[in-house]
Structure 1
Amino acid sequence: MTFRSLLWPLLLVALIFAVADLFIPTVSVLLVVFAGLLFGVFINGLAGFADRHAPLSYRMSFMLVVTVILLLFAGGVYYLGAQVVQRTDELWSQLQTASEDATQRLKQYEFSKQYLPDSEQMQSMVRQQGDSAVSGVLGGLRSVGWAMTGAIVIFFVGAYAAYDPRLYRKGLVKLFPTQRRERVLEVLDQMRSALGRWIVGRVMSMTLVGVLTAIGLWFLNVPLPITLGVVAALLTFIPNIGPLLAAVPQVLLALNVGTDTAIYVLVFNVALQGIESYLITPMIQRHEVTLPPILTIAAQLWMGITVGIIGVMMAAPLTVVVMVLIQMLYIHDRLGDPNPGELTTD
């Protein structure tokens, strides 16, 4: 086998690896832009509602909505930041005190002295832990920096899209043949309507779950009930997986109160999920696009493995978009079904 015969397979493998390296960053950027468009649909819906029910133009309503969102975001960041810093200092002090108490108690027993490090070993361990902590802090700061950059991009993409949505709508339609543009407009309108209804349903679920979580944790004397309620509300944006993630900080803080409290918090979360599944979700299904749970979970797993957290967050709204495209362009246009969104058992 000559070198020339191996050249093309090697070039093909190199091309595949190059495309794979570019695939994930490209999809991540596109998902951030999609998140911005989703945020734009949210802003557009609020501004349109204010435009229809208040003596304000759409542009004035838009500016009012954006200002309120910025004020709420700034207030939430300030409150949560102050609470996190305060609780972190308290938790670190409690851990140091607990460690010192445990060491002093162990020194009282003769058999434990050979296992306890001496002062030099302790200093070496502290230095190593300090280096690890610095690396962890730097990594955390880098992640926070990327998250803040993504949030800024999402905000500006959503603001520009909501400020003049017709401009981008017309530009997108221009990419299609003239005989298909009317159908493309219908598909875009249906996608915007479906995403709008999905957002309404998510916001209703987030609000109810956040309020119920704060009230329940307050009765259980868990620290930071309002903060944990806000976290639970935000994580409810992610169907199926979000409520599980929201329970983790609740249990961790409940452990500082007592083991019984942590068990009560777990029971409370199970009960809350039952209420959401059998009361809240049926109540909002008339507003929200109903997504098949298996399809949503599969999309979340696939997007999470290939892209990461942004993929998990955007899996559900992307599923809404894909369902609209399949229903309108394949089931209706290709297969000729006049009711593509309805299932019949006759």
Structure 2
Amino acid sequence: MNFRSLLWPLLIAALIFSVSGLLVPSLSVLLLVFAGLLFGVFINGLADFATRHTPLSYRTAFLLVVTVLLLMIGGGVYYLGAQMVQHVDELWSQLQTSLQDATERLRQYQFSKQYLPDSEQVQSMMSQQGDSAFSSLLGGLRSIGWAMTGAIVIFFIGAYAAYEPRLYCNGLIKLFPKERRGRVSDVLDQLRSALGRWIIGRVMSMTLVGILTAIGLWFLNVPLPITLGVVAALLTFIPNIGPLLAAVPQVLLALNVGTETAIYVIVFNLALQGIESYLITPMIQRHEVTLPPILTIAAQLWMGIIVGVIGIMMAAPLVVVLMVLIQMLYIRDRLGDPNPGELTSD
């Protein structure tokens, strides 16, 4: 495969898009399509598993998998949305009450009276904060709308790709010369296998972390332990950075209970990360593609700066793709090394 003939058109296209200001939007669209293809690999893997272990045909198994996923996604969105809306309202009420109580307590001290606002000023400030919160809420709803649109696009791209996977693979293979098509097919099969193993590892980690988080927060009497467990499970999809993001809402809600509870939550998250690093991750590495942590973090930071959230989420699977291409097409084909390196811990 002559990569030099492909490299220059790609560089020229990137330069044109960069000058015209379309590079970042184009990358965002490509990453959205890549996320859809990744979801398609997930659906295809579930349908293949059902086909191998049941008398169902692939099309029937595919429809069954898609139906179950739709029901799970719909139920999860409804539950999380209802819980979040209810709790945000409670938090705002508690914040108002706490601010007024703190002001009244400080008024008891003579030196603080000249610095503290009176009751009318407090109400005015809370009203202004409410207007600001309303503007922020509109911005948040706009972002949620874009996120939902992206999720719908990802779902349908994945569904179409999983419904007829060979159609798209064969179409891509035919873009290459006949003498190279066999090798391209091998590379695509290896990419699908590597991404499938990475998805299996991520799903196993997400499930275990979500269950342990919900149980731990329930014992600590933190509000919404199941909801926070689901959030932690979803954010575990992002290696390295996801667990840190998942700890933020846990600590904020724990502060509502008490400072001591918040400290316990922080300690719990540190312990959970230790369990994941030394127990969960080694246990599932036989299924998951082993990614170099430094390379993964660097890719997450770079993609996050350039593209944003979608770049952070897709950085790890893109590293998987890069590893497969380098090992198969450069180390093995170009350098002639028959053992370019195992992609898993096996």
Tell me which residue corresponds to 1:291.
291
Distance change (3 Å), C-alpha of 1:218 and 1:289 = same
Aligned amino acid, residue 324 of structure 2 = V
Alignment pair present for 1:198 and 2:204: no
Displacement, 1:115?
A: 2.1
Distance change (3 Å), C-alpha of 1:18 and 1:282 = closer
Tell me which residue corresponds to 1:23.
23
Displacement, 1:123?
A: 6.3
Tell me which residue corresponds to 1:144.
144
Tell me which residue corresponds to 1:37.
37
Tell me which residue corresponds to 1:164.
164
Tell me which residue corresponds to 1:315.
315
CA distance in 1, matches of 2:285, 2:151: 29
Residues 235-254 of structure 1 mapped to structure 2, 5 A cutoff: 235-254=235-254
Question: For 1:74, what is the secondary structure of its paired residue?
Answer: helix
Moved more, 129-138 or 329-338: 129-138
Question: For 1:21, what is the secondary structure of its paired residue?
Answer: coil
Q: How many residues align?
A: 329
Alignment pair present for 1:60 and 2:63: no
Displacement, 1:187?
A: 0.3
CA distance in 2, matches of 1:230, 1:94: 24
Displacement, 1:133?
A: 2.1
CA distance in 1, matches of 2:189, 2:17: 38
Residues 223-238 of structure 1 mapped to structure 2, 5 A cutoff: 223-238=223-238
Is contact 2:100-2:122 (8 Å) kept? no
- Structure 2, unmatched stretches of 5+, are 1-14
Residues 1-346 of structure 1 mapped to structure 2, 5 A cutoff: 19=19, 21-117=21-117, 125-126=125-126, 128-342=128-342
Distance change (3 Å), C-alpha of 1:261 and 1:120 = closer
Tell me which residue corresponds to 2:10.
none
CA distance in 2, matches of 1:154, 1:138: 24
CA distance in 2, matches of 1:117, 1:259: 26
Displacement, 1:90?
A: 1.3
Query: Could you tell me the percent identity over the aligned residues?
Result: 83
Question: For 1:170, what is the secondary structure of its paired residue?
Answer: helix
TM-score between both structures, scaled by the size of structure 2: 0.91
Tell me which residue corresponds to 2:6.
none
Distance change (3 Å), C-alpha of 1:255 and 1:17 = same
Displacement, 1:112?
A: 2.8
CA distance in 1, matches of 2:228, 2:98: 25
CA distance in 1, matches of 2:131, 2:97: 22
- Structure 1, unmatched stretches of 5+, are 1-14
Is contact 2:17-2:23 (8 Å) kept? no
Aligned amino acid, residue 208 of structure 1 = L
CA distance in 2, matches of 1:316, 1:279: 21
Displacement, 1:254?
A: 1.2
Distance change (3 Å), C-alpha of 1:62 and 1:170 = same
Aligned amino acid, residue 211 of structure 1 = I
Displacement, 1:18?
A: 5.6
Displacement, 1:260?
A: 1.5
Name segments (4+ residues, structure 1) moved above 6 Å: none
Tell me which residue corresponds to 1:5.
none
Distance change (3 Å), C-alpha of 1:120 and 1:257 = closer
Displacement, 1:266?
A: 1.1
Aligned amino acid, residue 296 of structure 1 = T
| 1:209-242 deviation digits (Å, cap 9, x = unpaired) | 1111111111111111111111111111000001
**How much is the aligned-residue C-alpha RMSD, in angstroms?**
1.8
Question: For 2:334, what is the secondary structure of its paired residue?
Answer: coil
Displacement, 1:107?
A: 3.2
CA distance in 2, matches of 1:100, 1:119: 8
Question: For 1:69, what is the secondary structure of its paired residue?
Answer: helix
| 1:298-342 deviation digits (Å, cap 9, x = unpaired) | 111110111111100000000000100000110001000001124
CA distance in 2, matches of 1:251, 1:35: 30
Is contact 2:299-2:316 (8 Å) kept? yes
CA distance in 1, matches of 2:100, 2:259: 22
CA distance in 2, matches of 1:332, 1:32: 30
| 1:19-56 deviation digits (Å, cap 9, x = unpaired) | 36211110011001100000000000000111111111
Distance change (3 Å), C-alpha of 1:305 and 1:225 = same
